[in-house]
Structures are given as structure tokens and as C-alpha cells.
Amino acid sequence: MRRAHTVEEVRAVEGALMARLPEGTLMQRAAHGLAGAVADWLGSTYGRRVVLLVGSGDNGGDALYAGALLARRGAGVEAWLLGRSAHEGGLAALAAAGGRVGAPRALRDRPDVVVDGIVGIGGRPGLSDAASAALALLEGVPVVAVDTPSGVGVDSGETPEPHVRADLTVTFGTHKTCHLVDPAAQACGAVQLVDIGLDLPEAPVESLQPADVGRLLRVPGPDDHKYTRGVVGVRAGSATYPGAGLLSVAGASCGLAGMVRYVGDSAVADRVREQHPEVVGAGRVQAWVVGSGGGAAAGDELAAALADEVPTVVDADALQHLEAVLDGSTRADLVLTPHAGELAALLGVERGEVEARQLHHARLAARRFGCVVGLKGRHTLVTRPDGRTRVTTTGTPWLGTAGAGDVLGGVIGAVLATGLDPWDAAAVGSWLHGAAATLVSDGGPIVAGQVAGAVADVVRGLPVVSTPARR
């Protein structure tokens, strides 16, 4: 599991650890990790030119000590001081190693890398005029950020003000929310975690890794059959949008559940039977998938699904009818899967607001509707009413294609039918969907219909723990 903690949590744990360690130990651990990461990223240090952008906080100290280590390895290191003060010990170490301190200026020779030590995790979003001016002088030079790119919202994942855009971010002890949640995550580049010995609590934001997915997946045992493995029902598609129904069924038919039922428009049902002869009609299910391409009938289909009182994935057109069907009540067994525009409509805000404050709005919706919300995007956020969030980091930009969300809803429904709780099912389904897209894409374009068939290949490659399916 990749875990992300808040600034308050990190500072509390660091404070407790620093009270037991000799002064400066944590900064030295961070500096050694940072210097090693920069050296690895450069490929070599001898003769390389490094510019440090140094603020007055501890991140500036980390950068200075790391610069001293790089200078000892043969790099030419210059620090530009951007704060009212700088870490004295770090300055002395840099000078002793042969590094220099200079003022921001136009450079005749382009540096190999800039190390962003301007603002630490306690900084507010945005950059000072001096920092912005220094960055402008270094435009086009690769940036390695210390802990977080300066100027992003560390706990929120937001970027309301000018900020650093890093090629690599080296963080210490744990990930922070901004490393996982967009739009800030897009400013981080690759993220490398350096262990500095922190004993951390449960994280409010996390990201599944392959071993986690393998542990959570329900796999059939020797006594299982199609009904005990879980039956997922699909109410999607219409005469106007038959493809949405077919793609939802394709996702549900990824093989994780024992049976798929389709209930809906008769013309769509005929096409479902042609393409998926294993799919059957109405009957008892353990989970429903409702809404994709449902058109005018989506509200009735949602009401019918909720009347069964089984977990339900609510997508696309069904989201428009959610409040009316719930009539003021909440259902903890629902998984809502809106994109930013659909979530904006649910909450009565502009789409741009949702895109700028993704975690905030996903949590707001989860509290309001009392259920799991999967806000689809580059990094899909799967949030439950208490605010805990899992971030899907699998996927490829090629997945931004028509019908991908229809397949996703079906995959989540299949996982939900096997007996996982809604939060686990939504997170696992989203992860598998992104991983399948990456696999089938192989760096090139894809269409949504290709994704469902690749889920099985992804599962075969997982370290699956044999957890029986539902009984």
C-alpha cells in the first residue's frame, strides 16, 4: 500500500522521533536520500552542474546538505538563497564541500538540474515573487523537488497559485496527499520515497499496489459454483445508446463474478445475447450496475435496482435521478461513479471547481450521499463517507476514450458481486480497469471494448491470495 499522511500527522511523528534522536539526525537522513536520488537521476555526478533554490525552512536545509554531498562527489553546486535566512549548518557544509552561494541571475551555461528547496510541507500554496523570478531564469532545466513541489496544496492536492512543476519529487518518511491527488500530483513528476524511520498512523489517503489487489480479490475455491461466486446484474443501455449497455456487460463479464444478468431494452438484450451468449436475463443478483446510456428509463431502472436492496453501482444517466429516487434517504451500499461534470451537476457547482478541488468534492459527495464515490479522472478517487480515500494510479492517457466509464462500472459491479464491501470493490475494480488498459494499450491507442478482455490477464499476473468468494 502506498500511504499518504497529512502535514499534521507527519510533524507529530517527526517531533516524537526527533526527541529521541541526536539533533539533526532526520535532516541528515533526508539529505543523504535526496543526494542519492539526484545522483541516480543524473546518472553521474562528476562535472554536473547543480543549482539549489533554497528557502528559509527545513527543506532548504535538506537541499543544502544534499548539495554538499553532491559537491563531494564532483558536482559543481551553487545555492541561490530565496528566504530571509538559510540553514546555517547546511550553508557551512556546502561551503566546506566546495559549493558556492550566489544570487539568482541569468547563467551562461545551462545547469543539469535544479533542486527545489524553496518551501516545505508547511508552506501555503503559491510562490514568492523572488522564487518565481528565480524559476523563470532556469526555465527548461529539469527540477527535483524536495519533499513536495513548492507552492502546491500539500494536504489538499490543489494548485490554486503558481507552483513548481517537478520532473522528480523526493519525499521523506511517507507520501503526502499532493503526491497522489490531482491536480497537484501532475506537478510532482515521478515520486521517490526515502525511509527516514517514521512510525506512522493509519493514512487518510492511500493507493493500492498489486499485492493489495491480490489480497483483496475474492477467488473461487474448489466447492464454488456460478451462484456462490456472485451474480451481477446490468441495467444499462437503450435504443439510443445500445453500445453503453454492451460495454457495461463486457466489463461485468470480465470473469470475476460467476454470472451476469442483463435487464433492459429488448433490442439491446438481443445484441447482448449475440456478443455474450453466457449472459442471462432477469433473476436474483448480488449487485447491480445501473445507468450507462440508460436515457429516459434510467430513473426507473435505478429505482428497480435499489428495490432489490443489494449493492449497486450508479453511473451516468442514473446519477441524474439519484436524489429523486433516494428521496432524502441514504444508502451505504451504493458506489457512485461520476466524472467531474456529473459530480458538478450532483453538487450544484461548476465542473472547473470539481477539477480544481477533486479530493474536496469527492469527500463532500461521499458525506452528502452517505456512500462510496468514485470520482473518475487521471487518478480516480474512491472515497467513503468518513473521508478515507484510495487513489487509483494505474491507467494510461489512452484510456480517455468513449465508453471507458461504462466498462469500469461493469468491472466494479463484478467485484462487488463477489462480496467485497463497496469501498474495496470500487478501489479494486478501478485499479484492475486501469491496469488492464495499460496492458492492452502497450503504449498505443485503445478503444474501451478492449479493456474488459484484458482484466483476466492482469489478474493472472497478481500475487493472488486464495480468499474464497461469497457464500
Share of the chain above pLDDT 70, in %: 99
Domain 2-207: CATH superfamily is: YjeF N-terminal domain (3.40.50.10260)
The region, left, alpha or beta by phi > 0 then psi within -120 to 50, assigned to residue 394 is beta
Binding-site annotation, residues for AMP = 376-380, 405
CA distance 250 to 246: 6
Instruction: Count Cβ atoms below 10 Å from residue 398 Cβ, excluding itself.
Output: 17
Binding-site annotation, residues = 58-62, 116, 120-126, 147, 150, 244, 293, 339, 376-380, 405-406
Binding-site annotation, residues for K(+) = 59, 116, 150
pTM greater than 0.85: yes
Q: Which residue has the cell 436492496?
A: 309
State the DSSP H helix or E strand holding residue 391, giving kind and residue range, or none if neither: strand 389-391
pLDDT at 470 over 90: no
| Per-residue pLDDT, 84 | 86
Average pLDDT over residues 219-226: 94
Domain ranges of the chain: 2-207, 210-468
Q: Predicted confidence band at 469 (pLDDT cuts at 50, 70, 90)?
A: low
240-245-247-248 Cα dihedral, nearest 10 degrees? 140
CA distance 282 to 275: 18
pLDDT at 466 over 70: no
Among the CATH numbers 3.40.1190.20, 3.40.630.10, 3.40.50.2000, 3.90.600.10, which is that of 210-468? 3.40.1190.20
State the DSSP H helix or E strand holding residue 50, giving kind and residue range, or none if neither: strand 49-54
pLDDT at 471 over 90: no
Binding-site annotation, residues for (6S)-NADPHX = 58-62, 120-126, 147, 244, 293, 339, 406
CA distance 382 to 426: 7
| Per-residue pLDDT, 83 | 87
